[in-house]
Amino acid sequence: MTQLILQQQIELQQQIERLLTVVEKPSRYIGGETNETVKPDATVRVALSYPDAYEIGISNQALQILYGLINDRTEAAAERVYCPWPDMADAMRLQQVPLFTLETWRPVRDVDLFGITLQAELTYSNVLELIDLAGIPIRSEDRTDRDPIVLAGGPSASNPMPLAHFIDAFFMGEAEEGLSSIIEILDTVKGREERLDRLAELPFLYIPARGERPVERAVFANFSIDTAPTKPVVPYASAIFSRASVEVMRGCTRGCRFCHAGTWYRPVRERPVEDVVKAGLEQLNCTGYDELSLTSLATSDWSGVARAVTEIKAAKPELHLSLPSNRVDTGPVALAVAANSRQRSITLAPEAATQRMRDIICKTITDEMIEKAIKSAFAAGYTSLKLYFMIGLPMETFAEVQGIVDLGFKAREIGRRQFGEGGKFTVHVSASNFVPKPHTPFQWDGMAAPEQLRVKQEYLRRTLKGRQLKLSLHDVRTSMLEGAIGRGDAITGDVLEAAWRAGARFDAWTEHHREDAWQAAFTAAGRDLEVEATRERDPLDPLPWDHVRSGVTKEFLLDEWWQSRAERPTGDCRWDGCSDCGACVGPVRNRLVEA
């Protein structure tokens, strides 16, 4: 490092220190957390970013996986950056302080690769915020050799078009399969255009500047445990999840027609029990956490879950063991009790309250199963029951909304029988607004009109109230924005840039959502936000994301769409036979581990 560069780095650190004295929660920006990695001599430098506040991003398991993969398994160095809160961002612009990494407080613009994970559409304005704060030109066409390659990945990258103006390369699929190839290209090839040419040769990367071509989703076929984080970074500041976590299974074959992850992460791949137990105990020992989460899309479907709970609890009897994403039947309730006798809250997700609607969305559970699960939860001593539903689903009638009310009161009645009329228990009913997603059978459906959603929400507010009942609803405005962006195209990118320039950022946070900026941006582009969100698509028309191959065929998705119209569910291929979705090809197949 030359004397000039060293002096510039010292001056930048001094500027940052001054900013930290005047902003909210300075611990978001200081770095130095337990288990962070610094590799000063690395020849390839990567900045990994989550486009939301520190407390959200530090809890993201995908970013922890990438951080460990790069630092532990390659010669490159990965450092982290999260989206500065508005007070910090405004101060940085005023004082001309560039976006910096947490590990070394060095400018993000100086790295070779700026990686941004896309988990939700409502973070897209923050993607532009990050790029701009880094001093990188917003549009990729304006960048030079002075700028890093901006790469985006994650589930929302499955429709890259709304961000295609701003991202140099999109990684489709699972980073464990192919990340090392990207690092190798960055290490051996210099020059921006030359790097993009080489990256365009990788089948799982979409390079907008090199034109549209079929892009194949990368699948981590063997799903080995050695890629799981062994020493996750432990946050200084508060985080939404402060716990160790081990991914026990990837993929889901239940086939819920609204679920993007259920399509995008097929097929199912399970990890052996002994590997999961060892990895979980190692994480606990190096973090100091007193909680361990066994994560997947449906943890209770993992064939090793019962044995893993037994072995982990035998090793650490007082451990708070979390099993998220459980099925609605009595088995998962019993498992949850065995895993954590201290917890008094449990979540069940029927998604729909009538059998007709559950058949339409392919949620293969019955009224009897739901009622048994509620009874088992209260009998096991849980005093807070959370029930998750969606409203605005395709072909929904008033009967489905009334069903949510009826099931909420039924749950309260069961609780009163268990705890008494004045017993201390609560039933929480959460009703989110259905948003259709790309690569799902409902990708051709539009959202319900906003006025319809508001009428349904108001009915739930009027009827679902009283002692021991609580109701939570999602903001219709942000749901409509999510729907308009999620199935958008390149023009949606123009809207995004206009809204961000008008002040849009942190759109998922109610206090920062700028509806006026978004409405004006859509209007300026000759579009209407509500029309884009509610628009139904003809199954014969091309879709903006058709060039992205998820592995599940479009023919299968269309057949599932027709099955939804016939109100017929499709069986789970693990137990009911292959449904010919297209995900299992060659070595990429469902792989179950017998406990």
In order along its 595 residues, the chain shows pLDDT tens digits of 577 778 888 899 999 999 999 999 999 999 999 999 999 999 999 999 999 999 999 999 999 999 999 999 999 999 999 999 999 999 999 999 999 999 999 999 999 999 999 999 999 999 999 999 999 999 999 999 999 999 999 999 999 999 999 999 999 999 998 999 999 999 999 999 999 999 999 999 999 999 989 999 999 998 999 999 989 999 987 788 888 999 999 999 899 999 999 999 999 999 999 999 999 999 999 998 989 999 999 888 899 998 999 999 999 998 988 888 667 875 677 777 777 767 788 899 999 999 999 999 999 999 999 999 999 999 988 999 999 999 999 999 999 999 999 999 999 999 999 999 888 999 999 999 999 999 999 999 999 999 999 999 999 999 999 899 999 999 999 999 999 999 999 999 999 999 999 999 999 999 999 999 999 999 999 999 999 999 999 999 999 999 999 999 999 999 999 999 999 999 999 888 899 999 998 888 898 876 4
Beta strands in 244-370 (DSSP E): 244-247, 249-250, 269-270, 291-295, 320-322, 345-351
Contacts of 183 (CB under 8 A, 6+ apart): 44, 46, 70, 74, 75, 76
Domains of the chain listed by start with CATH number: 3-216 (no CATH), 243-487+537-576 (3.80.30.20)
Which helix (H) or strand (E) segment is 283 a member of? helix 273-287
Contacts of 88 (CB under 8 A, 6+ apart): 19, 23, 24, 28, 29
Helical H segments across 476-553, by residue range: 476-486, 490-501, 515-524, 529-534
Closest CA to 362 of 168, 61, 540, 572: 572
Q: What share of the chain is helix, strand, coil (3-state, %, to 5)?
A: 45, 15, 45
Contacts of 467 (CB under 8 A, 6+ apart): none
Structure tokens at 297: 């899309």
Closest CA to 123 of 63, 33, 183: 63
- How many other β-carbons are positioned within 10 Å of the β-carbon of residue 499? 29
Q: What does the pLDDT read at residue 595?
A: 45
CA atoms within 13 A on the CB side of 452: 18
Closest CA to 342 of 299, 385, 383, 286: 383
Q: How far apart are CA 174 and CA 583, in angstroms?
A: 14
> In whole angstroms, what separates CA 569 from the centre of its chain?
26
Structure tokens at 381: 């001593």
326: amino acid identity, one letter: N
Q: What does the pLDDT read at residue 344?
A: 85
Q: Are the C-beta atoms of residues 47 and 80 closer than 8 Å to each other? A: yes
Q: What does the pLDDT read at residue 421?
A: 83
Q: What does the pLDDT read at residue 336?
A: 77
Structure tokens at 65: 């996986």
Angle between helices 3-20 and 86-95 (to 10 degrees): 140
